[in-house]
Amino acid sequence: MSTLINNGSGLARRSIMPRRENSELRFSDASALGLSMEARMARIESMMKSLLQERATYTSPPAVPPCDETGSDIAMSMSMDDSVNPALTFLSQPPHDIHPRLQDAIDPLLATDTNNVRLDNRNLMFPDPAIYQGYIATFFDEFHGYYPCVDEQRFRGRSQRMLAVPEVHPDDVCFLALNYIIFALHAVSNGITASGRQRKPSGWHWLQLADKVVGKRPLMGHGDISLAQFLLFKAIYCALVDQPSLAYNTVGLASRYTLQHGMNLKESYTGSDVWETFERLRVFWNVLIADRRISLSCKRPYILRDLDIGVERPSDVYGRDITPLVEPSQSEAAREVNEYLDFMVQWAHFAGSLWDSVLAAHVHANDLADQALTFNAAIDDFIVNTFADIGDRWSVFAHRRCQYVRLCFDNLILMAHRATISSLQFEGRTSDLLQVAVTSMAHVRVHGWVSTNGYLLRYQMVTTLAASLHLLSSALVGNHFDDIDLRPGNALGKAEFNAAVDLLSGLAQSVPLAQRVLDDFERIVPVVRHVFAKCAEGPSSLQGAPDWAVSGDFIPADAAKLLPYKERVPDICVSVLYNGIWATNVGSKTDRGFSAWDAGLEPGGARSSVLWV
């Protein structure tokens, strides 16, 4: 049947046979296969009717258009080999009572939500037009504002052209993959996950489908600018779902794509029109930002070096070449985005400096403390003299971007102390480290936990809270306890610590990373609270300058072992590949190649030990 019934209904596609003939053909095929198949078909139809009725109770009428008779045709025409087919996973999920535009990931067995696109004689799952528009809106409303590198008008126009023809053109393959990773980001934003303890991350089936579509193009660098955009947002998606190995390798591919195509050099832009130049520059700088962020998180070297960059920033091109061509209102909105991107580029330069001067292998251990202090002083100077009060002249969404930038810089400050934290040798700076942690916690607490903040901002809050908790906990259980002030009058640290844990608990409702962080700190949190409680009992607990003998009465001798993120180089592979492609592609075992993707890349098992920046 899959060869006879191509694309179902929706968009500009039509079935090649009248509906009546389709129904007759389906009946005759079932009869030829015997009564058992006929009974099975009846059972599937009954199940679909039940699902549609149940869905109607959770979805407002505009979100569920009338069911087409060919609905089951769509389900049965999808080859099991030609689609990821996460239907069985979603059949076990209860519907979500949310806004129709933010509906959960589509079920390929429900004709009201699905459509097909055809590529290389394969039918691939694709959202219904109404659902598709919701997915795209989520992307531009929530994600693109923080990684602005896709022209929305051009994107929508190209989407219409791609979907208006019977089969996806080969030139649009990378663009189709970009669409699929956008769907995955939508799923992450709305917390759509499969059931079960070892469940896959939200949107994982869209990632698999995107990779199947794009094939080996990322390895060869064959593709237009959509390939770079796809790799960028795939890397971001992998970071959001806590898959560091995939994130690091994917952002590496994106970085090498920009180098392969000379996007780091001014000469490569010769012959491009102003809009193409502007978009390519935005892609390049966003890839660089993601490269620095993910590489730092994984404690691995980054790819794009400052010495290799010979292009200007997008804001320079826009101000010089584009502002005269657009309306003043458009120019003002673009100014905010360009200004935000400039700050993130500056953040990326600081991130590169952090690696080169503090975290790289060539830095001597004796120089770490001084290097970290110098680095933090430079960031403080930038924030006070350049970044301060910038949000006051930005719009509401841009104000959230201002909060996002501030937390990104907080993470760099916290990470600058990583080497000192790991060694638990604070050299009389315990109180200073506690102050850094408490200040960062306060920055997050000011924002609070509200769903309108958007997923990326909430995710960034989690990363800052995790780094702050790590710094504070490490300082309290360290073996240099002589300069710490935890007398009853100093309750700020205790209040911020408890507020941070409570805020993480609230964020865990919508950001899975928050729950992982809570699990990571599960053993050390009671110890820290016990320290604060003992210090609050009165002068008898801590009289004068406490020494380790006194603190040892209420801090376990092995407390440092309870701290998470102790590895100098965290294992970024264990959370993804534990019984899959690597195991099957080593030695004399058969190389299953890409066919092993579904079976080999099974997220789950051991948790990631990455402290995301």
Domain ranges, ordered by start, for the chain: 80-316, 363-565, 573-613
Let me know: does 204 contact 241? Beta carbons within 8 Å: yes
What is the per-residue burial (b if ≥16 Cβ within 10 Å, else e) of 77-97? bbeeebbbbbbebbeeeebee
Q: What amino acid is encoded at 153 in this protein?
A: Q
Q: How far apart are CA 441 and CA 137, in angstroms?
A: 32
Let me know: does 82 contact 122? Beta carbons within 8 Å: yes
Q: What amino acid is encoded at 336 in this protein?
A: E
Q: How many CB atoms lie within 10 A of CB 257?
A: 25
Q: How far apart are CA 591 and CA 268, in angstroms?
A: 39
Q: How far apart are CA 250 and CA 294, in angstroms?
A: 10
Q: At what angle do helices 368-382 and 328-354 cross, to 10 degrees?
A: 170
pLDDT at residue number 570:
84
Q: How far apart are CA 210 and CA 180, in angstroms?
A: 5
Let me know: does 106 contact 131? Beta carbons within 8 Å: yes
Q: At what angle do helices 455-477 and 430-447 cross, to 10 degrees?
A: 160
How far apart, in Å, do the first and last CA atoms of the chain sit? 50
Let me know: does 73 contact 45? Beta carbons within 8 Å: no
Let me know: does 183 contact 105? Beta carbons within 8 Å: yes
Give the pair of three-digit tokens for residue 491. Answer: 């309750």
DSSP state, residue 310: B
What percent of the residues of the chain are helix, what percent strand, and what percent coil, each to the nearest 5? 60, 0, 35
Q: How far apart are CA 188 and CA 241, in angstroms?
A: 8
Residue among 229, 261, 256, 233 nearest 151 (CA): 229
Let me know: does 516 contact 242? Beta carbons within 8 Å: yes
Let me know: does 317 contact 281? Beta carbons within 8 Å: yes
What is the per-residue burial (b if ≥16 Cβ within 10 Å, else e) of 406-434? bbbbbbbbbbbbbbbbbebebeebbeebb
- Catalogue the E-assigned strands of 330-450: none
What contacts 586, CB < 8 A, 6 or more positions away? none
237-to-135, 204, 257, 304, 433 alpha-carbon distances in Å: 15, 9, 18, 20, 32
Q: How far apart are CA 229 and CA 155, in angstroms?
A: 12
Longest dimension (CA), the chain: 91
What contacts 250, CB < 8 A, 6 or more positions away? 218, 231, 234, 235, 238
Q: How far apart are CA 321 and CA 273, in angstroms?
A: 10
What sign has the CA pseudo-torsion 40, 45, 46, 51?
A: positive
Regions of the chain short of the pLDDT cut 70: 1-114, 192-199, 389-398, 422-428, 448-452, 478-491, 536-554, 574-608
pLDDT at residue number 571:
81
Let me know: does 102 contact 52? Beta carbons within 8 Å: no
Residue among 127, 298, 98, 122 nearest 203 (CA): 127
Helix (H, G, I), strand (E, B) or coil at 265: strand
Give the pair of three-digit tokens for residue 539. Answer: 């002068």
Phi, psi of 570 (to 5 degrees): -65, 150
pLDDT at residue number 392:
59
Residue among 268, 82, 111, 102 nearest 187 (CA): 102
pLDDT at residue number 385:
87
pLDDT at residue number 572:
83
**Spacing of C-alpha 494 from chain mean position:** 31
Residue among 465, 475, 484, 466 nearest 528 (CA): 475
pLDDT at residue number 428:
65
